Structure 1
Amino acid sequence: MKPITQYTLTLNGENETDKTRTEYKKIPLKSYEDMLSFDKNRILITAESGYGKSTLLKKIAYDWAVLQRDTHVTQQKRESPLSKYELVFLLEINQMKAKFNITDEIYSQILPHNDFGKKSVENYMTQNPEKVLILLDGADEIPFERLQMANEDFSVNNVLSFKSLKRCKVIVTSRQSTALKLLTCNPDFTRVNIVGFDEKNKKEYIRNYFSNFDPQYHDYVLSEISKSETLRSLGEIPLFLWLMCSSLTQAGSRLPDRITELLSDAVNIIHKQKMSKYCTSKPSEKLTEKAFNELVAKLGQVALESLMKKSHAQNSFTVSEFDSEDLVSLGCEVGLLTRVQFMHGIEEVEQVHFYHMIFMQFCCSVYLSGMAESNPDKFNDHMSKLLDGDVERIEYLLRFCSGRTKKAAEFVIHLIKKRLSVSNNISPVGLQRYICLHRIIMLSLFEAKLGSAVKPLAMDEWVRFPYDLKGEDLLAAHLFHSKPTNTI
């Protein structure tokens, strides 16, 4: 089945009446196959967390492998744009060594025991570029400055900026903030924005998810997801639609109207499903609710330590970074963690990942919100350091903290307000940060249901709306009874 996430292609072109401005035309795409059919050899896929950037690249690699397995020339094989590629490499940027060398990483991440030498692969890619597809996942998961510093042949930086492998098709994924930086290296990227599910897609996803249920239940699930602007907005994001469906597997289930409550419910349901499947019937061998919450907080402490490392915060850990092997095993058992084994060079490496970055930030919020009650000074210190870094990547952490306790919400709102008052919104990067802080403080107020905090804020200078209001943003803006404007 084709992925039903929708894509929008953005092609840039000069405005004929003003050569200093850039215009964009948007073309809706039916599937990734449309994307592969374009002439340009550098494609930048942008979307925020949960929209399926990594899943899309895995889908492309999987479909190519299926085509290769079929030795017969079928109609599907003839029509697929993947059929022209003899080699497809899917590489995770956050797993790369300091040189970010693509051929080195092909051997580290994919071909550790292959008889072909590195030079043979380089020669093939150079001599047959039209037969090679390179998929680079997660440019936003490492500091952009580290990518720029690696400038040898076949480095990610040189490949993305058209200094190496110019005629190979290369696709890279990133969140918006890093995408803006990538465009400074190569403004001629073909940009593909994943825009998520429309109403038709939601219905199709729900039918597939609840295929064993009565069709009337499909209508009930859709009505639950459509009952508020928040849920309708979240339902556009594939990860959150999956979480909502997971929360509605029991007849009579209802959805909450805040994202923090949704994650809490979904995590508990996943935990119960996993435990009922893998654990014995002995009560002593099952986690109590208290023990489960303690487990989430312990995992959150590890997550916080990673997020505090501004230079390389990412969703990959060694077992030794956790308190014990038992903590990792239990985290995997309840569905919050996964183990990944792969070859790095000649060594077998085991890593531990949170199921998704959003789960990682949820666990972190459980740990931090408890700290806001027990040790406010320490909470403020941690939160200040996080807010001085890449705020966009911790949006959900801030919202979850705000939704969990009133005290955490008040701290978060106060700290963001201080930064908004001194924010430089003149430069493009400064404006992007200003908008991000602005959205998060609005959504934190909404998440915490702190209507009482709005009145003293309503006259502040920052309470203006320098971005289009829709979905949750629009709902949060309604907390302020003044008429929003779209100018700074």
Structure 2
Amino acid sequence: MAERFPTSQNEIESVPTQLSGMSLQEDAADQLAQLVQHEASGTQYNVSGGQTIIGEQTNVIGDTSQAQSSTQGPQQRSSSVNFNLEECQAELKQYYIDEMGKVNLLPWVPDAVADMESIFVDLELVKQESNFRSSEGVKRLESNEDLISLKTVQGQRVNRVIVLGDAGSGKSTMAANIAYRWAGLTEDSQSPLSKFKLVFLISLHEIQDNKVSLVDLIFQLILPEDSQVSKEGLKSYITSNAKDVLLLIDGMDEDSCGILKVRSNEITKALHNRKLRSCCVILTTRPHRIGELGEHLRHYTQVKLSGFSLENIFKYIKMFFKEDTDKNDTLIQKLKQGPHILALAAIPVLLLMICLLWEGQCSLPSQKTQLYKNTLNHMWKRYKSKEGNNCPLDDEEMTDEMKSLVCKLGKVALYGIDRENEQVVFSEREFGIEIFNLGCQVGIITRERLRARMTVKESVTFLYKSFQDFCAGMYLAELLDSNQSEFDKVLRNLYVQRDDEYMLHSPYILDFCCGIQPRTSHILFKQTLSHSLECPALQGSVINISVHLSNIFESQLSYAELVSLCDNTDIRLGIKSVSYREVPYLLYLLKLSLESSSRHDGFILSKLVAIQIEIGNEPWLPTLLEFTPNLNMLDIFLGKKLDGNFSTTSQ
């Protein structure tokens, strides 16, 4: 829960290069296993010049780009297996047009659909260079297609990209849009996507078998049951022409069957850069799961998905209210007046909720927790009206019946999390028939049909991952009131320790829990301080409290309550990576300071000694400096440094 700030440039640069020699050893082991396997079947091999030659196919240990240029030339390598590329392209494109061409604006309203082209708004993507903490270390991308046009410092094509985004930030929609754009390309298109002959979009939460091969998965999830494509031909083509293939792997954090833990699986090998190295792979995940790539992260260029820019927030609202200019204008004006709600609007799923609530009642909360409460109340009202019960409901508070449903759903969601996995796919049996049916009728959960091998399996997922987190957070808050020991046990399970750092499986769960039961903020903050003061390795270090800012804001703790958290304690606090999304949290602390009749040395701002900010010279920064007398490091990147009597760094 506490972590030490980097102390030197060498320390920062050494992290991603550990164990850098392992992948070559793994490749050699793979080649050896392949030799043994084919030797047993009587296949003849010639081994020469560091290459293992199998018939007409060439697999190179090391850098494949040179081998391709020397043995392949400008022509694609031939294959003895019959494969109709045009037929495969046609089947893929038809699938993407049919499945991705329509967007359900309100998933709990089946007929509320719109064309992908008419509603999609590009998200803000920021490439993080190796020197990621300076303004020169980032690059804003113009569109999703720029993800496949990235270059290394040496000018070579980047073949491994990982897109990091919080729950609801639009990762899955972005991946679907890339596949949809490829499907709609014409022969004379100048799009960067046109260089790919085949594009495969795979959602990890749909995989039911962690031993399934890539080609089998393509046939299970994408190609039609009566496909005319040869399975062996497709496998041969992908292997022989990997540079012409784009692989979109959505939801590393939603790998419910553990496929990424099976090192022998070829999908895992591709993600670990041990197979299909010239294939372009775009992987999406929530930030807290990035560490699971381990040493293989060094192969990836990291791109942060920041949600909507201010311009695109307003563009989305205009598209949503295209037939109601009054609603459009008043909502935009409302967002301009409040930084708290504007920060929420940058997250696509939350902006959808904001538009939905504004359409119905023209009022908005400032906390994320209340926004989800209001949205679920809206869904509950719709369900009740269909049942013929139009009784008025309080927009701010849930009925007991609704709370009971959410908590029962949340119990299943919460206990689906352990230190290794986070369950996102459930069975009807886990919920029980009564809760399952009610949850589906309201629209919080939904049934999916997944193909696995020759069978069709039915599974259950939450409408959005953030809905799953909200339900889990509400149940956790109920545990705090009813069963303190069980609450403590579950809370420990939500954290996973990597080295000296504690990371949350799902930060949203605790945000929601704090918004529902403010006492949770006290417990979380005290635990962080206790761990930092008791752990010898962390004693004297600056304690990073970034994760607690959203907890405090959601719980709306008072000045006196915040003073009690760290009063009479000799600690030094720091805040890492404050983006515009976290600005409202700092502004809330400043607001409490300004409203207080007297300053107290025990207030959080008085304990701050280091802040790292991802924004420019904002007008509120001088006020922040006034209330942080012990601040001795202010690091500003993606913007200009401030002048003042304090030190700044830009490592």
Give the alignment's TM-score, normalised by structure 1. 0.83
Q: What SS does structure 1 have at the residue aligned with 2:478? A: helix
Give 1:147 shift. 2.7
Partner of 1:375: 483
Superposition pairs of residues 291-440 of structure 1, within 5 angstroms: 291-307=401-417, 309-324=418-433, 326-388=434-496, 391-422=503-534, 435=544, 438-440=545-547
- The one-letter code matched in structure 2 to 1:41 is N
Partner of 2:326: 216
For the pair 1:89 / 2:213, whether they are aligned, the reply is no
Give 1:9 shift. 2.4
Partner of 2:550: 443
Q: What 5-or-longer segments of structure 2 have no aligned partner?
A: 1-116, 151-156, 593-603, 612-632, 635-651
Give 1:311 shift. 2.7
Partner of 2:97: none
Q: What SS does structure 1 have at the residue aligned with 2:513? A: helix
- The one-letter code matched in structure 2 to 1:455 is V
- Is the CA contact 2:148–2:158 (under 8 Å) kept in the aligned structure 1? no
Q: Residues of 2 paired with 1:425 and 1:403: CA distance?
A: 32
- Is the CA contact 1:275–1:333 (under 8 Å) kept in the aligned structure 2? no
Give 1:13 shift. 7.6
| Alpha-carbon displacement from aligned partner over 1:94-123 (angstroms, at most 9, x marks no partner) | 444334642342233334744645432220
Partner of 1:475: 587
Partner of 1:464: 573
1:140–1:98: structure 2 CA closer, same or farther, 3 Å change rule?
same
For the pair 1:132 / 2:233, whether they are aligned, the reply is no
Give 1:135 shift. 0.8
- The one-letter code matched in structure 2 to 1:267 is L
For the pair 1:43 / 2:161, whether they are aligned, the reply is yes
More helix per residue = 1
- Is the CA contact 2:573–2:607 (under 8 Å) kept in the aligned structure 1? no
Q: What SS does structure 2 have at the residue aligned with 1:348? A: strand
- The one-letter code matched in structure 2 to 1:141 is E
1:311–1:95: structure 2 CA closer, same or farther, 3 Å change rule?
farther
Q: What SS does structure 2 have at the residue aligned with 1:79? A: coil
315-324 or 451-460, larger mean C-alpha shift = 451-460
Give 1:360 shift. 0.7
Partner of 2:191: 80
Q: What SS does structure 2 have at the residue aligned with 1:372? A: helix
- The one-letter code matched in structure 1 to 2:251 is G
| Alpha-carbon displacement from aligned partner over 1:192-223 (angstroms, at most 9, x marks no partner) | 2212222211111111111221x233232123
Q: Residues of 2 paired with 1:420 and 1:340: CA distance?
A: 44
Give 1:463 shift. 5.0
- Is the CA contact 1:44–1:173 (under 8 Å) kept in the aligned structure 2? yes
Partner of 1:250: 360
Q: Residues of 2 paired with 1:246 and 1:180: CA distance?
A: 36
- The one-letter code matched in structure 2 to 1:376 is Q
- Greater Rg over alpha carbons, structure: 2
Partner of 1:17: none
2-11 or 43-52, larger mean C-alpha shift = 2-11
Q: Residues of 2 paired with 1:336 and 1:463: CA distance?
A: 42
Q: Residues of 1 paired with 2:536 and 2:359: CA distance?
A: 47
Give 1:340 shift. 1.2
For the pair 1:30 / 2:142, whether they are aligned, the reply is yes
1:148–1:461: structure 2 CA closer, same or farther, 3 Å change rule?
farther
- Is the CA contact 2:495–2:504 (under 8 Å) kept in the aligned structure 1? no
Q: Residues of 2 paired with 1:191 and 1:440: CA distance?
A: 21
Q: What SS does structure 1 have at the residue aligned with 2:281? A: strand
- The one-letter code matched in structure 2 to 1:200 is E
Q: What 5-or-longer segments of structure 1 have no aligned partner?
A: 15-20, 68-72
For the pair 1:263 / 2:375, whether they are aligned, the reply is no
Q: Residues of 2 paired with 1:449 and 1:186: CA distance?
A: 37
Q: What SS does structure 1 have at the residue aligned with 2:458? A: strand
| Alpha-carbon displacement from aligned partner over 1:141-183 (angstroms, at most 9, x marks no partner) | 349997355135x232x21233211221111112223335537
1:259–1:417: structure 2 CA closer, same or farther, 3 Å change rule?
farther
- Is the CA contact 1:177–1:392 (under 8 Å) kept in the aligned structure 2? yes
Q: Which residue of 287, 291, 316 maps to 1:176?
A: 287
1:9–1:468: structure 2 CA closer, same or farther, 3 Å change rule?
closer
Q: Residues of 2 paired with 1:387 and 1:461: CA distance?
A: 25
Give 1:56 shift. 0.8
1:422–1:89: structure 2 CA closer, same or farther, 3 Å change rule?
farther
- The one-letter code matched in structure 1 to 2:312 is N
For the pair 1:272 / 2:272, whether they are aligned, the reply is no
Q: Residues of 2 paired with 1:244 and 1:425: CA distance?
A: 44
Q: Residues of 2 paired with 1:439 and 1:351: CA distance?
A: 36
Q: What SS does structure 1 have at the residue aligned with 2:494? A: helix
Q: Residues of 1 paired with 2:432 and 2:257: CA distance?
A: 31
Give 1:365 shift. 1.9
Q: Residues of 1 paired with 2:373 and 2:572: CA distance?
A: 30
- The one-letter code matched in structure 2 to 1:62 is Y
346-355 or 367-376, larger mean C-alpha shift = 367-376
Partner of 2:236: 123
- The one-letter code matched in structure 2 to 1:247 is L
Q: Residues of 1 paired with 2:289 and 2:494: CA distance?
A: 18
- Is the CA contact 1:373–1:407 (under 8 Å) kept in the aligned structure 2? no
Q: Residues of 2 paired with 1:46 and 1:305: CA distance?
A: 25
- Is the CA contact 2:546–2:575 (under 8 Å) kept in the aligned structure 1? no
Q: What SS does structure 2 have at the residue aligned with 1:9? A: strand
1:104–1:400: structure 2 CA closer, same or farther, 3 Å change rule?
same
For the pair 1:56 / 2:174, whether they are aligned, the reply is yes
Partner of 2:4: none
Give 1:41 shift. 1.7
Partner of 2:307: 196
Q: What SS does structure 2 have at the residue aligned with 1:373? A: helix
| Alpha-carbon displacement from aligned partner over 1:227-285 (angstroms, at most 9, x marks no partner) | 3332222222112222222221124x321222211111122123324554xx243569x
Q: Percent identity?
A: 26
Q: Residues of 2 paired with 1:164 and 1:149: CA distance?
A: 14
Q: Residues of 1 paired with 2:435 and 2:577: CA distance?
A: 43
Aligned residues: 458
1:111–1:461: structure 2 CA closer, same or farther, 3 Å change rule?
farther
| Alpha-carbon displacement from aligned partner over 1:34-93 (angstroms, at most 9, x marks no partner) | 2223322212111222211111111112233344xxxxx466xx1333334332211123
Partner of 1:18: none
Q: Residues of 1 paired with 2:136 and 2:255: CA distance?
A: 28
Q: What SS does structure 1 have at the residue aligned with 2:573? A: coil
- Is the CA contact 1:442–1:476 (under 8 Å) kept in the aligned structure 2? no
- Is the CA contact 1:383–1:412 (under 8 Å) kept in the aligned structure 2? no
